[in-house]
Amino acid sequence: MRSPFRPASLPDPAILGDQKPLLRDLKRRKLLRGGLSLGALSLLTGCDVKRPDSVQDALLSISRLNDGVQAWLFDPTRLAPTYSPSQVLVPPKFNAYYDVDKVKPVDASRWTLEVSGLVTERKSWTLAELAALPRTEMIIKHICIEGWDYIGDWSGVRLSSFLELIGADRKARYVAFKTADDYPSSIDMATALHPQTILAMDYAGSTITDPFGFPLRLRMSTKLGYKNPKWITAIEVTNIYPGGYWENQGFPWFAGL
């Protein structure tokens, strides 16, 4: 019996042949890395494959469908695996949409964290105020969409605790982030409240350094690497879809593991 998750037939090779230039372009832009499979391409047979816009719209629809399924399957109480200190990579790997020599250090004396949106306490938080909050530590795996990973030791404020502290509306849909390196990002509220989602300030027992997101970055055990913004400067709780740097270019928004 054929699996209900398997397409009845593979895409017509002639159709794929006609679309090779488009598919190469989509791969270059990493849309395909966001979860498109050959089976998913069978859904494109209802499109006008001579029109690239039609195919791209279909691919984005598939991505949105994937987001919805992942959100439905997400278990906010399930913990990701943790590891031993001996497995931690020191220093962590650098990853960004630019090379490491383009990093612009943040001035800690002038840095603040702006809080806005559906919260009862809107204020600017200093680094000293954040550092005084209760800390949690976790040793988890960072998994990049490009195929590499590493185990890291992160310490900081649990995001759920911080949201409670600022009186965030926990029924809101999104928590959005702005950063010093112009890398906006956003996550769903269920992930924000997950116990392994933290606002990280330390790595392997020491303050996170400039190339890795000083003074504040998001670390989650349940999302791919590109969903973890660094150099965070603002947090907003909202019901308006915020998108993100890569998501606005076609990457899946939910991006769960």
Burial class (CB in 10 A: 0-12, 13-18, 19+), 187: buried
The domain locations on the chain are 13-73, 85-249
| CATH of the domain spanning 85-249 | 3.90.420.10
Per-residue pLDDT 10s for the chain (257 aa) are: 333 333 333 344 444 445 445 444 544 444 444 444 444 444 444 555 455 565 455 445 555 656 666 666 667 788 999 999 999 999 999 999 999 999 999 999 999 999 999 999 999 999 999 999 999 999 999 999 999 999 999 999 999 999 999 999 999 999 999 999 999 999 999 999 999 999 999 999 999 999 999 999 999 999 999 999 999 999 999 999 999 999 998 888 999 87
Kindly report the pTM of this predicted structure: 0.76
Beta-bridge partner residues of 235: 115, 177
Beta-bridge partner residues of 102: none
> How many C-alpha atoms does 84 have within 13 Å on its Cβ side?
2
